[in-house]
Structures are given as structure tokens and as C-alpha cells.
């Protein structure tokens, strides 16, 4: 289309956008008046003097055509021109940035690699290079993670392991300080995979370039879509897990082939295959898949998650990622407060009878107001009932509140429960019952703020319980608490076989941000479904609400060999204590680094009340894959709401790194706690991820700086557009418009149109 416009109007559209309209010949006022009078006389003698058999409409049309034709000829005689800036040849510089990263070695458009395409355009005898050199003094660069001056394109090798386009443009501007720089030419596939988010730095750089009047002209090379490619964009998994617990890894998969329906995801633990799963793909959109697995043994494990590659796949290096999970053989403690003897209490405790890692401490209020305690370490523990202080309650990782009315708790105890979740980072699980939720009077207490559901404004009486069938929700089917069996199909069937349960109080409204894990589907109306198990983050912790009061039916109304009830409660209670905050927390900002790439590890330190500690004495030791151990310094860090400490480790070996830190405080050197973080170092081919040409990024860079984007085939137009850039080395040049082909076509069309009408009407 642009070629057609350029032919008709003689010049490319870009020239018109930078120009001003004018006339090369300006006649006097007397000449203009005389010409208009002559035009009027001509029209009069042709259409009014002699009697014509024409109706007024045809007469007006013919007059209009004749007037427009004469006016156009008169306009052309005035020699219309456009005045546009034009760079004086050889008076200014142009920085040419050529991408030298490894993604440029891809041959995704025929047999020619992206790098070869750039080399061809920038070879000394190439038309593109010659045209640039005739107009400008060139400052060629090659760039990957940084920009470097080169003599010519022959120095490009495609050896860069990552691309930082923003830093390259900034470097070119700094190097050209004091020189008359007309603009920047970037020849790249647009892949920018520098550390962190480039959004802010890119905006700053583009504003700087725009302020300096430096347009960027981007030449995009490479295919915008890689046919048949499957890429694992990212995978995340919990940093730590309890031995024997289900772990869910979330995987983001992107496929370029819209016709591909599914892909097999393989998971290996320490290079040993663990499980495979076929996941459906959502066309060319990013698909979120979840893989559930059980680690084999305690300890640090590396999990490789890979997508099965086809023979035709253009890039295979983007098919796998690694995550590290520390599997702990720990014994976290859960406090269960129950207000009345009931089946649910006994069966939940029975479900955990063979549990090796969960310590369930329970308080059962008897009819005479006394407390029956189980799982306590000594006779003094919880002798007066539910904990009254933070010191007592914060020893636990999770709290379960059964059928207990709100008035049972003092105001201070309610406050401690709220702080247990929000500050300590523990988990609160509320169970359904005759004295739970709104029926228990919690609607006007801080507990109502904690819960992931909205309670009724007034206390409600428990009605006749309604029966429901439990089923995983769409968002909850991969949740550990909803997994009775690892395989999705078998898990769905297991839930279908579960007996109905009852809800003493039906609560349909969940809070924003809450996740419904299980739904309760009415046995009377199949279209009716209400929340059964709901979860929400609150402060540093989380809360769950289990609306049923008789999940014990899942044990009593099935065959003895069916262990679904035990599996559900073990998974749910294990979930409540995993990822709970600890006094000392350590985590790397990523799980995988390239060799020599700085790994930043953040450490958060809190006291026994889980208040962040400033000025703690930290000792950090790193163990390399070969077993070499060394200390690293820690420094205080306050950034983006984070209050803690950080260390930087530069890995020089491939493999698993362990980072152990301990924190002490005060003159007494009191130990606050210890933590471990881990990460993997190894070959990291960032260039294989997002390897298709990032056309949108290049267009944005060009548009916001006043430049233009071109494909490799359109690159020849760049020279003309760059020549007409406004700057200190440019001058104003006039370009004639009178001889544009479109003018000739208009004159012929107007004359032919008038003659045709006159001929049809018998006037010619």
C-alpha cells in the first residue's frame, strides 16, 4: 500500500508528516482577480450564453467540473511545494546497533539466520550500507548485554547470552556525547531479557531520547511467530514442603501452533523420572497447568519440568525449567479448639492417628466447663483452655476453631487470634457447626474480618441441615486439599463416590481474593452449588473456612478400605502448616542463575512476637555444589516494603548452592533463628525464551522517539526517513508537488468526466 501511495504522490508518506506546504510561485493579487474573472467569463460563454437543453442539476455539475479543472491547473501553475528538513550529507552521525545475541543465530525465515540478514544489509558493498554511508557518518555497535564499538558487521558472532536493548541505546547516547547525532538505527529481533522488569527503565530511556530529539529507527529481523514451538515460560513451586505432602507446581506453557491441542509435561526429581501429565493447550494463548506430585524423600531436591519436544520444533532449549524444593522432616503443631463433643472432632483426630509429621494438640470443652486436652507435652499445657497470650498461641503453626461460640473467647483472645494470622503468619481453619460462623455470633468480631466468607449481619439460628455432595471447584481441582488421588481423572471419580454431607449454615458470598477450593452441590437441585471449603490470604497468613459439620460421614458411610477421609484431612492439615512464617526466612529472588550471574538472597528476621528486627547479627554461609563452604556478608535492605537483609552470591560452579543463615540479637547473643535458601546455577539460555521477534516492543520504541519500524524487506526506506530528520545538521529543502502522478490523473479524470457528460447530452 505504501508503494502505491509513494508512486501517486511522488514521495513517501513519512516525508509529508515532517513537512510544511507552500508555493514556489506566488502571483500578485491583480493576476488572481484577472484569472477569476476570466474563469467566470469562460463558464458564462459555455453554459449560459447559448440556450442549452440541460436541467439545473446537470448544468451545475458541468460548471463544477470545469471550475475544479481550471482551479487545479491554476494551482499547479503556482508550483506547489513541501518544505522538509534534510540532513546535510556527511555532517552528522548515526549510531547503528546490531544485535549480537545468540537468538540471532536462529534461521526461522528460510536458511538465512537473523544474524546473516543483518550482516548482508551492513556489508560494505550492500545497498543499505552504502546509502547510509553516503548520507551519514556511521558509528557501528554490536550489543547483547552491553554495547561495544566495532569496525563493521563482520565482527558479529551471535555469542551474547542475554540482550539488554535499553542499556545498549543508553550506551550509544553516552558515547556520542558532543557529536551531532541524527538518530539511532537498531537492527534486532527485539528480544530483551535483561535482569528484572525493563518497564521503568525503558520508559525513562525513551523519554530521554525524545527529549534529546533522537529518533530510533528499528529494523526487525526474524519471524514474529515460531511455527510449532512450545515454550515453558515459567514454573513455580513451594520453596519448602513437609515430607509426605503433595506438592503442586504451576507451569506456564506457551505454544505458537494454534492447532496443537495438548502437550506432555514430564517431571523428574534429581534426574529420575517422577511423573508425566498430558495437559490441554489453549491455542496460542499462555496455558496455566498444575502438576501435583509427592517428593520421595526429605532433603533438597531439584525438579526438572519439561515439555516433550517434536522433531519439527524450531527451538528446543526453551522446553524445560528447574525448581528447587526443600522437603522437611519436621513436626509442626496445630491447635484444635472444639466447643462440644461431636463426631467430627473424634474422626479428625482419628484420621491423623498414623501421621508422623503433624502434631495435633486439641482442647475439647466438656459439658461441665472443663477441658479435655490431647496431644499436650505436659500437664500444665493449656490447663486453663485456649491460649490467652501471643507467647502461648504463637508456638503453633495453625489454629482450628470448631463449633465454639464467639462469646467463649475474651476480647484479648480474639485479638491474639487476629494477630496470629496477620502478623505471626499462621493459618486459621474455621469448621462448620451449630455454634460456628454467624450462628456462633462471630459476625461482629475481628474473626469475621479474618474469614474468607461474608457472615450474616445478624446471628442466625441453625436451620434443618441441607445435604450436599462435595466436589472440587474449577479453581480448586489442583489444590492439595482437593487431591484424594494424584491422577486428575481418578481424583474426580473419588470425589463422586463420597457420601453426602450437611451444612448447618449456607454461606454463599465469598470475599474478593478468596478461592473456593471445594463446592457443595445440592442433592435436591443439581444446579445449586455453594462454597464448601474457601481460602484467602490475610496479612502474613491465611484463613480457611470449612462449612460442613459432618465430614465424618466420608469415613463412616464408605468401605473400610476407602481412605479418602483420612487423605482429605491429612492433606488439608498439612497444607495449613506449610509456608507458615518463621522467625528467620531466607529466599533467593529466583531459583535458577547462570554461572557468574549475581544471585541475590533476601533474609527477613523477626523476634518471638514476629516483629521485624533491625540490627540483628547475621552469619551467612554458602555451600557450593563441590562442597566448598564460605561466608558471605549481609547488608540491611529496605526496598519496596521489604524490611530485612540481603546478600549477593556469584556462582562459579554448575549445580545446587545452599545458603544457610542464622540470626542473633543483643549483648546476650540470643539466637533468633536460622534458615536455609537454595538455588541452582548452570547454563542459562535466556535467548531461547521468547525467541520470536518482539515486533510490539520495537514499534513502541520507534513510535515514542519519533522514528519508525521496518521489516528487513522495508529497510531501504529507512535511509530516506532518516535523511529527513530534524536536527542541528539539517537544512530546509523544497520538494515540488506539481509533477506528482496523481495531479496528472486528476486533470485527465476531470477533463474526461466533463467531456463524457457533454457528449451524452449532445453538447460536444
User: What is the pTM for the complete model shown?
Assistant: 0.77
Average pLDDT estimate for 594-609: 92
| 530: β partners | 520
Res. 83 pLDDT band, cuts 50 70 90:
low
Nine cell digits for residue 248 = 503442586
Given this model, what pLDDT does residue 656 score? 94
Average pLDDT estimate for 347-364: 93
Please tell me the distance from the alpha carbon of residue 131 to that of residue 87, in angstroms, as a whole number.
13
Res. 1 pLDDT band, cuts 50 70 90:
low
107 φ/ψ sector (left φ>0, alpha ψ -120 to 50, else beta): beta
Question: In degrees, to the nearest 5, what angle opens at C-alpha 394 toward C-alphas 389 and 399?
Answer: 100
- Give the pLDDT confidence of 388-433 residue by residue, as tens digits: 999 999 999 999 999 999 999 999 999 999 999 999 999 999 999 9
Nearest to 305 by CA among 262, 329, 339, 276: 276
Residue 232 near residue 321, CB atoms below 8 Å:
yes
Give the phi and the psi of residue 578 in degrees, each rounded to 5.
-85, 145
Nine cell digits for residue 96 = 547503528
- Give the pLDDT confidence of 261-313 residue by residue, as tens digits: 889 999 999 999 999 999 888 777 788 888 989 999 999 999 999 998 877 77
pLDDT tops 60 at residue 51: no
pLDDT tops 60 at residue 176: yes
**Looking only at Cα atoms, what is the longest distance across the chain?**
127
Please tell me the distance from the alpha carbon of residue 239 to that of residue 677, in angstroms, as a whole number.
8
Given this model, what pLDDT does residue 67 score? 75
Side-chain half-sphere exposure of 693, counting CA atoms within 13 A: 25
Res. 252 pLDDT band, cuts 50 70 90:
very high
Delineate the domains of the chain, giving CATH numbers in brackets: 2-86+734-760 (no CATH), 89-224+692-728 (3.40.50.410), 230-328 (2.60.40.10), 333-577 (3.40.50.880), 584-686 (2.60.40.1930)
Residue 365 near residue 381, CB atoms below 8 Å:
no
Residues with Cβ < 8 Å from 315, sequence gap 6 or more?
106, 226, 229, 231, 688, 691
Please tell me the distance from the alpha carbon of residue 634 to that of residue 621, in angstroms, as a whole number.
10
Question: Of the ranges 197-206, 211-220, 730-739, which one carries the lowest mean pLDDT score?
Answer: 730-739
- Give the pLDDT confidence of 321-346 residue by residue, as tens digits: 999 999 999 999 999 999 999 999 99
Given this model, what pLDDT does residue 727 score? 65
Given this model, what pLDDT does residue 54 score? 61
Q: How many H-runs (helices) and E-runs (strands) does the chain carry? A: 18, 36
Nearest to 70 by CA among 38, 45, 48, 46: 38
Concatenated DSSP letters of 80-119: EEEEEEEEPTTSSEEEEEEE-BGGGG---BTTB-HHHHHH
Q: What is the DSSP letter of 270?
A: T
Dihedral over Cα of 391, 396, 397, 403: its sign: negative
Res. 53 pLDDT band, cuts 50 70 90:
low
- Give the pLDDT confidence of 140-168 residue by residue, as tens digits: 999 998 899 999 999 999 888 888 999 99
Nearest to 497 by CA among 562, 447, 543, 451: 562
CA of 680: how far to CAs of 232, 292, 334, 469, 709, in Å? 18, 22, 33, 44, 39
| Mean predicted lDDT score pLDDT of the chain | 86
Residues with Cβ < 8 Å from 443, sequence gap 6 or more?
455, 456, 457, 458, 459
Element (H, E) at 33: helix 29-47
Average pLDDT estimate for 187-216: 85
Average pLDDT estimate for 611-636: 93
The segment with the largest mean pLDDT, out of 410-414, 526-530, 723-727, is 410-414
| Residue of higher predicted confidence among 462 and 488 | 488
- Give me the sheet containing 247-255, strands edge to edge: 230-236, 247-255, 286-293
Amino acid at each position: 500500500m505504501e508503494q502505491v501511495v509513494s508512486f501517486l504522490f511522488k514521495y513517501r508518506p513519512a516525508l509529508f508528516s515532517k513537512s510544511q506546504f507552500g508555493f514556489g510561485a506566488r502571483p500578485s493579487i491583480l493576476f488572481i482577480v484577472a484569472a477569476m474573472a476570466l474563469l467566470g467569463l469562460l463558464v458564462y460563454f459555455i453554459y449560459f450564453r447559448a440556450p442549452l437543453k440541460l436541467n439545473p442539476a446537470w448544468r451545475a455539475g458541468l460548471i463544477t467540473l470545469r471550475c475544479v479543472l481550471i482551479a487545479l491547473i491554476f494551482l499547479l501553475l503556482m508550483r506547489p511545494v513541501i518544505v522538509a528538513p534534510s540532513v546535510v550529507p556527511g555532517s552528522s552521525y548515526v549510531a547503528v546497533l546490531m544485535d549480537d545475541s545468540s537468538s540471532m543465530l536462529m534461521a526461522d525465515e528460510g536458511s538465512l539466520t537473523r544474524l546473516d540478514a543483518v550482516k548482508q544489509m551492513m556489508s560494505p558493498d550492500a545497498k543499505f550500507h552504502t546509502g547510509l554511508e553516503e548520507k551519514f557518518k556511521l558509528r557501528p555497535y554490536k550489543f547483547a548485554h552491553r554495547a561495544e564499538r566495532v569496525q563493521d558487521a563482520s565482527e558479529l558472532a551471535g555469542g551474547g547470552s542475554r540482550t539488554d536493548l535499553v542499556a545498549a541505546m543508553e550506551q550509544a547516547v553516552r558515547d556520542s556525547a558532543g557529536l551531532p547525532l541524527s538518530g539511532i538505527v537498531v537492527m534486532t529481533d527485539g528480544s530483551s531479557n535483561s535482569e528484572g522488569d525493563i518497564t521503568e527503565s525503558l520508559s525513562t530511556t525513551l523519554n530521554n531520547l525524545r527529549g534529546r530529539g533522537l529518533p530510533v529507527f528499528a529494523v526487525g529481523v526474524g519471524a514474529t511467530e515460531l511455527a510449532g514451538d512450545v515454550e515453558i515460560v515459567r514454573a513455580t513451586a513451594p520453596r519448602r514442603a513437609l515430607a509426605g505432602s503433595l506438592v503442586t507446581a504451576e507451569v506456564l506453557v506457551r505454544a505458537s501452533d494454534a492447532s496443537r491441542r495438548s502437550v506432555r509435561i514430564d517431571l523428574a526429581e534429581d534426574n529420575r523420572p517422577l511423573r508425566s501429565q498430558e495437559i490441554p493447550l489453549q491455542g496460542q494463548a499462555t496455558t496455566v497447568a498444575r502438576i501435583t506430585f509427592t517428593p520421595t524423600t526429605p532433603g533438597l531436591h531439584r525438579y526438572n519440568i519439561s515439555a516433550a519436544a517434536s522433531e519439527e520444533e524450531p527451538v528446543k532449549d526453551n522446553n524445560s525449567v528447574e525448581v528447587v524444593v526443600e522437603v522437611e522432616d519436621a513436626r509442626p503443631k496445630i491447635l484444635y479448639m472444639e466447643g462440644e463433643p461431636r463426631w467430627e472432632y473424634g474422626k479428625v483426630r482419628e484420621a491423623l492417628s498414623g501421621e508422623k509429621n503433624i502434631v495435633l494438640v486439641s482442647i475439647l470443652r466438656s459439658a461441665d466447663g472443663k477441658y479435655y486436652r490431647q496431644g499436650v507435652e505436659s500437664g500444665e499445657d493449656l490447663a486453663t483452655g485456649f491460649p490467652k497470650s501471643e507467647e502461648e498461641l504463637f508456638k503453633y503453626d495453625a489454629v482450628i476453631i470448631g463449633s465454639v461460640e464467639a462469646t467463649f473467647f475474651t476480647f484479648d483472645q480474639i485479638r491474639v487470634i487476629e494477630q496470629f494470622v496477620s502478623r505471626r503468619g499462621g493459618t486459621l481453619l474455621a469448621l462448620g457447626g451449630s455454634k460456628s460462623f454467624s450462628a456462633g455470633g462471630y459476625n461482629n468480631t475481628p474473626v469475621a474480618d479474618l474469614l474468607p466468607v461474608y457472615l450474616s449481619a445478624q446471628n442466625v439460628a441453625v436451620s434443618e441441615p441441607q445435604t450436599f455432595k462435595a466436589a472440587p471447584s474449577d479453581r480448586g481441582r489442583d489444590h492439595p486439599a482437593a487431591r484424594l488421588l494424584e491422577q486428575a481423572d481418578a481424583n474426580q471419580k473419588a470425589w463422586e463416590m463420597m457420601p453426602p454431607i450437611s451444612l448447618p449454615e449456607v454461606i454463599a458470598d465469598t470475599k474478593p481474593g478468596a478461592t473456593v477450593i471445594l463446592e457443595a452441590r445440592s442433592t435436591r437441585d443439581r444446579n445449586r452449588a455453594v462454597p464448601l471449603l474457601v481460602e484467602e490470604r490475610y496479612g502474613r497468613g491465611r484463613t480457611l473456612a470449612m462449612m460442613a459439620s459432618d465430614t465424618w460421614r466420608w469415613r463412616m458411610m464408605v468401605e473400610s478400605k476407602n481412605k479418602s477421609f483420612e487423605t482429605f484431612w491429612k492433606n488439608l492439615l498439612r497444607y495449613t502448616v506449610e509456608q507458615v512464617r518463621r522467625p528467620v526466612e531466607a529466599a533467593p529472588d529466583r531459583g535458577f542463575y547462570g554461572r557468574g550471574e549475581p544471585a541475590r538472597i533476601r533474609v527477613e528476621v523477626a523476634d518471638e512476637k514476629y516483629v521485624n528486627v533491625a540490627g540483628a547479627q547475621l552469619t551467612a554461609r554458602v555451600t557450593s555444589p563441590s562442597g566448598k563452604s564460605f561466608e558471605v556478608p549481609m547488608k540491611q535492605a529496605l526496598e519496596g516494603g521489604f524490611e530485612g537483609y540481603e546478600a549477593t552470591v556469584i556462582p562459579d560452579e554448575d549445580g545446587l548452592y545452599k545458603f544457610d543463615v542464622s540470626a542473633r540479637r543483643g549483648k546476650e547473643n540470643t539466637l533468633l533463628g536460622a534458615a536455609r535458601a537454595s538455588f541452582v546455577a548452570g547454563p542459562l539460555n535466556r535467548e531461547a525464551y521468547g525467541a520470536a521477534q518482539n515486533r510490539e516492543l520495537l514499534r513502541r520504541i520507534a513510535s515514542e522517539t519519533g522514528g519508525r519500524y521496518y521489516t528487513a524487506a522495508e529497510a531501504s526506506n529507512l535511509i530516506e526517513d532518516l535523511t529527513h530528520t530534524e536536527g542541528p545538521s539539517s537544512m530546509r529543502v523544497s520538494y515540488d508537488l506539481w509533477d506528482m502522478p496523481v495531479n496528472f490523473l486528476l486533470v485527465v479524470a476531470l477533463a474526461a468526466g466533463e467531456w463524457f457528460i457533454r457528449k451524452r447530452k449532445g453538447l460536444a
